[in-house]
Every structure is written in C-alpha cells, then in structure tokens.
C-alpha cells in the first residue's frame, strides 16, 4: 500500500504526483469551481506492482474527498476505476453517471 505522505499535489502544474522506486507517476487535472476534472493518468512502464494504479487512484480520491470537491473523470482508466469502486461514486457531481 502506498503512503499518503508521498502524494504531492503540484498546484502549479495541476497534477498529483507520486514517485516510487525512482519512477514518476502523475494524474493531471483541471480545477473549476468545486469540481476537479481528472484528465490524464500517466503510469510509467517501469512500475511492476500490479496494484499500483488502483492504490495511486485511491490516494488521489481520498485527498480530493478531504478537500470536499467533486470528481469528474474524463480519462477512461479513471472512469473505469470509479465504476469498479462504488464507494467513490458519491464524489461524482449530481447528475453525472459513469
């Protein structure tokens, strides 16, 4: 499991960042009003942990939840994660279905 202290919200570049084993993973976003649009997920090929993507997304979603923002996943992989993990559907804005 990943440590929440390792997650960086780089507000200048509008991306969540995580470095693991010398590899740099990121999720790019756009913030509008009280919604955060998750637009791009980049996981380097060098990361061999099969659960890394889900663990990374959980960290990001929990961070967003703590900030009381709604999540709009525009990236197909992130949308798929929301469909598989129903506990995060409450973070979607009213009227948005995935």
The tens digit of pLDDT for each residue in 61-90 reads 999 999 999 999 999 999 999 999 999 999
Q: Which residue matches tokens 């390792």?
A: 6
pLDDT in tens, 18-72: 988 888 999 999 999 999 999 999 999 888 788 899 999 999 999 999 999 999 9
CB 48 within 8 A of CB 72: no
- The answer to whether residue 96 sits within a structural domain is no
Residue 97 lies in a domain: no
84, part of any domain: yes
- pLDDT for 1 equals 59
In a domain, 66, yes or no: yes
Q: Which domain holds residue 83?
A: 4-91
> How far apart (Å, rounded) are the C-alpha atoms in residues 98 and 82?
8
Distance CA 89, CA 22 (A): 32
Q: How many domains does the chain divide into?
A: 1
pTM above 0.95, yes or no: no
* 98 belongs to a structural domain: no
CA dist 17 → 13, 20, 23, 40, 73 (Å) = 10, 10, 10, 12, 17
Task: Write the CATH number for 87.
Answer: 3.40.630.30
35-42 β-sheet, strand order? 8-10, 15-20, 23-32, 35-42, 70-73
């Amino acid at each position: 499991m990943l440590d929440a202290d390792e997650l960086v919200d780089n507000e200048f570049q509008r991306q969540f960042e995580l470095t693991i084993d010398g590899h740099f993973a990121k999720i790019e976003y756009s913030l509008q009003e009280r919604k955060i649009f998750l637009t791009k997920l980049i996981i380097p090929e060098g990361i061999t942990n099969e659960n890394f993507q889900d663990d990374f997304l959980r960290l990001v979603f929990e961070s967003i939840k703590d900030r009381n923002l709604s999540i709009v996943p525009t990236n197909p992989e992130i949308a798929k994660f929301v469909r598989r993990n129903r506990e995060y559907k409450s973070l979607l804005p009213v009227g948005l279905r995935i």
